[in-house]
Structure 1
């Protein structure tokens, strides 16, 4: 097994790839909702991550929400945040998390570590925090162990502005105006932790719950998201698209993790090139998944009214040594930057159908953008990629042609270059490029057609080793820098991408 420490000396350079971007042929919009995040009651994502309690005097906070977290996520332009799960959602009863905190009952988090949940962070805390973030809340409803009336009451509690039992209760608990929650997940992973249902059975359950979700929000109504397939379970998508009336569903979920082996996920740091290669195979498989699920959806929904919502994605490894295995705490390396950059490019290039997504998860869990340790907080390589890429939010997707080259290892091949492009409201063109090759720099011949813009600048994320990561002692080891590795000749750029690097170019 080849260890990454052996990869770091002298990289070679190969000229291989050609990309043509047509800046005057855009048709679809890259929804900013693709850049959503996920906050489950799992490990230290909520408690110690987002929320440290109103009485905490050691960590600056506003109503218990960490100020540094809010600042970092606002700079990331987080468009939506999914809560409270995940598997936790189908054991969560929202009324346990409202009213005086001293009176709230405790429960045991049976899915994640068996810890006691005191419900001190509940509906008001989450929705008020979303207002602080300027992010749309995405509430995951309890279908597994909950009842229809429980969901009806929750929708009324957070969305109804008139007189009703639930809106009156909301006002008694200190919130006069409704929050107007648009996005609702009707259960989570119904094929697994959400109830181990068949798709036929879940389709009937979904229809019952969705029918009673009255549109109290506003004239736009609410956006109901059905619990969708796990990775390549195409039958699940087929059955739901057959059985769900278009009037009852706005989005269909998909979950896919970049996992080497569910029985041995491998380390988050100190991994081999073979392990890296396999992880990227799993990540790039997202292209096939999105394509094939979209094809099934197109058969029943040719107008593409229903969105494909990839509301769980990211890398999943063994937990850090010495940490609770149920807390899913893992470090975040340049490998994760590769996952983030390539996955977002895939979502962009399928913007006609993929109109919402949620990275799992925001803080201290799986492929997190932030890690915290008491008062300390660091930004991960994944954070930096998502910030570099946020120029694409609500921009016009530009079609491109890509003549690629292979990254080869042990007789296996992967496409080395990943790319997407967009044009913003001011006519500026942005091109995102990822070179996943662990050893070779790649030179890309990039032509941008159909624009009068000509000034080029760039930003790069790179490091010396694939396993490099930021730590609390060295929080800025990996950070974006100005990119100068290109030459311009007319409308053509010659761009040199270092090994395992992410570059965003701006043509302004």
Structure 2
């Protein structure tokens, strides 16, 4: 009897949990050229801008339907005192950005500039407060300044600085990485602080805040348990106490060690597979934290927010090592697709994620050339753009039958196929990644429960694994129409090229 063809069974009529659009969130820290030279060029710049905010960056991110933006950090958040970033720019005090390059920050980009940016982007604000070096009062007053509409002291201060109406701030972070740069705290100590600070992050007027406690580094499940104990009861169905409504998680994909993370563009096939193995570890980590949270919160009232994720390579030669500038190849794009598939599968628990970072830092969506001003869309940007139909769609389970090809990497079998799917109304989107560097992969999509009236597909790949976009070759890695989808007795047959990402759009009857 011949081997069964590799098949993905998808019941189109059995929608699951909603894939929050906020899974496609972004992160902008005062780090390197993310803010200054990325988003912010100043009103006097020759680069086209709106009130100092770079126009082409805004337009590119609006095309992604960017749902939220996290700011001001990161490690910078726990050194940032928000009152230094309001009022006339020429009167704002300076500070030292000790974490990232030991440069002097002039606070030209502050609260008003960030909220203006969010309005231009059509994105919701995720503001990260200062627990490490700040105070409860400072954080409480920032929320009041941002969101209160009457004549309170902070609302009056906001009006004096030129903004009459309050903003909506739906997400507020209670510190960042308190286990490290945010204070080197023990889990139980931070859990008490999260309760205290969260109490004073108040809902003003009609603004409802999701308070996000600073969660674990990678697989530190004990940290998550300490936070869950602070708001919930083991095995009990009672409502969690409302000190915070979500817990964050940070995990980065590197190829080597933290001292030598690997090069962004100079890597071989073995490096590719090690990277993919470590990217796929996100599934194990999310599952572990979800299991801890389920024990205390079976009804999933507390969300998991993966607000820092992505690749982290050695910086590009000739750049400031504290600026974390790296190139972005096809490999980064496939790392992104693997992560997003994981977040789709855990849509019942993962309510937000923020790739690090948006412009010019780590696994950026956009690179801007400091000399020419040219803007480059990275391969990772294109994965986000190809996936916009997953925003707020209902997840569909993808059941794989047959033998998924694997490769042994560091003593572990690495699956070479990653897949996820979702549906909205009379449409569906199937996302497929072939992680094999050399071999194509044939997959049958066994589509059940609804008729398929039409299909289209797009492909993201390149001639080499190391291919990346530059000002001279801005579309070396860019999506194209894909012709490798054919009718099959059970639905469709897809021929995935080596090292490729494919999205198949379905029109349903």
TM-score (norm 1): 0.95
For residues 258-312 of structure 1, give each alpha carbon's deviation from its aligned partner in whole angstroms, at most 9, with x where no partner exists. 0122121010001112221111111100000111100100010111011100000
1:321 is paired with a residue whose SS is coil
CA distance in 1, matches of 2:205, 2:481: 44
Shift of the 405–215 alpha-carbon distance from structure 1 to 2, 3 Å rule, reads same
Match of 2:395 in 1: 397
8 Å contact 2:444–2:488 — kept in the other structure? Answer: no
For residues 221-272 of structure 1, give each alpha carbon's deviation from its aligned partner in whole angstroms, at most 9, with x where no partner exists. 2100000000010110111111235211111000000012212101000111
Match of 1:441 in 2: 440
8 Å contact 1:37–1:80 — kept in the other structure? Answer: yes
User: How much does 1:185 deviate?
Assistant: 0.3
CA distance in 1, matches of 2:133, 2:5: 54
| Correspondent of 1:227 among 214, 219, 233 | 214
Matches within 5 A, 1:186-265: 186-218=174-206, 221-244=208-231, 246=240, 247-260=242-255, 261-265=257-261
User: How much does 1:111 deviate?
Assistant: 0.1
2:193 is paired with a residue whose SS is helix
Q: Does 1:76 align with 2:64?
A: yes
Structure 1 alignment gaps of length 5 or more? 1-13
8 Å contact 1:42–1:365 — kept in the other structure? Answer: yes
Matches within 5 A, 1:310-389: 310-374=306-370, 375-389=373-387
CA distance in 2, matches of 1:409, 1:244: 40
CA distance in 2, matches of 1:268, 1:379: 16
Runs of 4+ deviating beyond 3 Å: 407-412
8 Å contact 1:181–1:217 — kept in the other structure? Answer: no
Count residues with an aligned counterpart.
492
User: How much does 1:452 deviate?
Assistant: 2.0
Deviates more, 1:19-28 or 1:43-52: 19-28
Match of 2:235 in 1: none
Structure 2 alignment gaps of length 5 or more? 233-239
CA distance in 1, matches of 2:299, 2:410: 43
Match of 1:501 in 2: 500
Q: Does 1:169 align with 2:157?
A: yes
For residues 30-85 of structure 1, give each alpha carbon's deviation from its aligned partner in whole angstroms, at most 9, with x where no partner exists. 000000000000000000000000111x2000000010001000001110000000
For residues 448-501 of structure 1, give each alpha carbon's deviation from its aligned partner in whole angstroms, at most 9, with x where no partner exists. 111123211101100011110001111111110001112112442111111110
Higher RCO (C-alpha 8 Å, min separation 6): 1
Matches within 5 A, 1:30-49: 30-49=19-38
Q: Does 1:307 align with 2:303?
A: yes
For residues 115-142 of structure 1, give each alpha carbon's deviation from its aligned partner in whole angstroms, at most 9, with x where no partner exists. 1100000000000110111100100000
8 Å contact 1:228–1:252 — kept in the other structure? Answer: yes
Match of 1:7 in 2: none
1:202 is paired with a residue whose SS is helix
| Correspondent of 1:140 among 120, 128, 134 | 128
Match of 2:280 in 1: 284
2:93 is paired with a residue whose SS is coil
User: How much does 1:410 deviate?
Assistant: 7.8
CA distance in 2, matches of 1:422, 1:107: 46
8 Å contact 1:180–1:217 — kept in the other structure? Answer: no
User: How much does 1:407 deviate?
Assistant: 3.2
Match of 2:420 in 1: 420
For residues 371-417 of structure 1, give each alpha carbon's deviation from its aligned partner in whole angstroms, at most 9, with x where no partner exists. 00142100000000000011100001111202322134586531010
Question: Over aligned residue pairs, what C-alpha RMSD do you find?
Answer: 1.3
